[in-house]
A and B are shown apart, each in its own frame.
Chain A
Amino acid sequence: MEFFDKLWEWAPEVFPFLIKASVVTLQVTAGSLALALVLGIFVAVARISSFKLLSYPALIYTDVMRGTPALVQLFIIYFGLSDLGLEFDPISAAIIGLGLNGAAYVGEIYRAGIVAIHRGQIEAALSLGMTPVRAMRYIILPQAVRIVLPPLTNYAILLVKDTAIISTIAAPEVMFEARRIVQATFMHSVSGQIYLMAALIYMAITLPMSYVAKRLERAKAAWH
């Protein structure tokens, strides 16, 4: 099959570039994941807070972040803010954009996790004389972590795939590199093979993650 002949022919030359670009993909994924995981805590706490002043803004933030495309948010941060004087390089803009977007999703995951832990657990721990810190450490957090870990790993997998959109703001990740190679070398006839290679790289990243996610889900189900 001619398609695959061309694939083997070009793979050795093209793959190194794509693999190098996948480092950027992983960097952006890690950066925005970290940002989302941290900010998500504040979002979740604000959401379940009894202070309307905290919970309403958090609700609006979450709804807007989840109701508008990440691409629009990214463009607002990269193009919009630079118009207003605040410039970011593509990778920083990507991490901030995906991180802020992710904080809304992660916040919801945390919120579901907190709500899922039976109030009785907290009451029982405190009535047994545990300090709140000890109750957190030995009773609440271990249960909470088990609950939120599967959705979080699922989110991480989605995040890896979402990093493809940052190719639109010229972040040198896999899709951007693949397109650049096709356009710079005018190898449009093998663009199919090149994009397939890009797809394979994404799969090489997401498949192991999916495997881990499935194992975690099974462990969580067994624990119940």
Chain B
Amino acid sequence: MSEMIEFLKGYEDYFGDWVWEMLIASLVTMELMLLSFILACALGLVIALMRISQFSVLSGLTKVYIGFFRGVPVLVILYWIYFAMPELGYKILLISSFTAAVLGLGIHGSAFLAEVFRSGIEALDHGQMEAALSLGMTPSQALRFIILPQAARVVLPPMANYSVGLLKETALCSIIAVPELMLRAKDVASSSFLPMHAFVLAAVFYYIMSFPMMRLAEHLEAKMAVGR
């Protein structure tokens, strides 16, 4: 118990500054997470629709895309976009670390979500599509009004789970110098020589951010289970 107090004493000089700095960095983290999530969803949906397309070229290409980006760590993708792409002569891609992070996390997430969306769509009764088409709807109308709304129910729990994982992946972006929470924690840790205190505080911030999403994911999973 006295060790706990000793430990907490270490925060004395720094707590105020740290909390404030980490709070601001957390905003960047959440911004990063939000943008990557949107990109991953939008791109993932497109990829999923291509994957289930009848054109074998599209479905084959996206199968490779999904297999590749799900089989490599996020870090490799981040490195590639931030460090490697500028070297390859794509000078327009001398992008900021933040943009690289959004692209990296978004592309990695799109591969994951594409599979989620695909199984969500395929889990639906085939009869839905048939009935829609026989009622005279065009395939895209059927998709828009019948298939996707029903598939949305199925994919919400995995999406909520994905968002929790995404929040934690933003910590990796510190490695490509995105000014988010983990980078701030590292800075603070090295300038104060108190790594334990800094990272524990950062962990608290992450936990606070992920808490609502974890509860939402649990809630959605429970709701889905009832519908069986």
Interface residues of A (CB under 8 A from B): 3, 63-64, 66-73, 75-76, 79-84, 161-165, 167-168, 175, 178-179, 182, 188-192, 194-196, 198-199, 202-203, 206-207, 210
Contacting pair B85 A202 (CB below 8 A): no
Contacting pair A80 B195 (CB below 8 A): yes
* Contacts known (A72-B185, A191-B87); A161 close to B194, Cβ less than 8 A: no
Q: Which of B74-82, B122-130, B133-141 contacts A (4 or more CB under 8 A)?
A: B74-82
Q: What residue in chain B is nearest A66 (Cβ atoms)?
A: B214
Interface of B is mostly: helix
Contacting pair B172 A165 (CB below 8 A): yes
Contacting pair A80 B200 (CB below 8 A): yes
In the complex, whether B18 has a CB less than 8 A from a CB of chain A is no
List 8 A-B pairs, Cβ < 8 Å: A3-B88, A63-B207, A67-B207, A165-B73, A189-B87, A191-B87, A192-B80, A210-B71
Contacting pair A179 B203 (CB below 8 A): no
How far, in Å, is A82 (CB) from chain B's closest CB? 8
Contacts of B87 on A, CB cut-off 8 Å? 188-192
Q: Which of B73, B79, B80, B199 contacts A76 (CB 8 A)?
A: B199
Count of residues in B whose CB is under 8 Å from the partner chain? 42
Contacts of A175 on B, CB cut-off 8 Å? 73, 75-76, 79
Q: Which of B75, B84, B174 contacts A192 (CB 8 A)?
A: B84
The distance in angstroms between the C-alpha atoms of A190 and B83, with both chains bound, is 10
The distance in angstroms between the C-alpha atoms of A173 and B40, with both chains bound, is 28
Most buried by B among A69, A82, A83, A210: A69
Q: What residue in chain B is nearest A207 (Cβ atoms)?
A: B71
Q: Which of B54-76 contact A (CB under 8 A)?
A: 67-68, 70-76
The distance in angstroms between the C-alpha atoms of A73 and B204, with both chains bound, is 11
Contacting pair B207 A68 (CB below 8 A): yes
Apart from A67-B211, A72-B185, A188-B83, what 14 extra A-B contacts exist at CB < 8 Å? Answer: A68-B210, A71-B172, A72-B203, A72-B206, A75-B189, A75-B199, A76-B199, A191-B83, A192-B87, A195-B79, A195-B80, A195-B83, A196-B84, A202-B72
Q: What residue in chain B is nearest A64 (Cβ atoms)?
A: B207
In the complex, whether B182 has a CB less than 8 A from a CB of chain A is yes
Cβ contacts B168-199/A at 8 Å (1 or 0 each):
11111011000000100110010001111001
Contacts of B100 on A, CB cut-off 8 Å? none
How far, in Å, is B169 (CB) from chain A's closest CB? 8
* Contacts known (A67-B206, A68-B210, A207-B67); A76 close to B164, Cβ less than 8 A: no
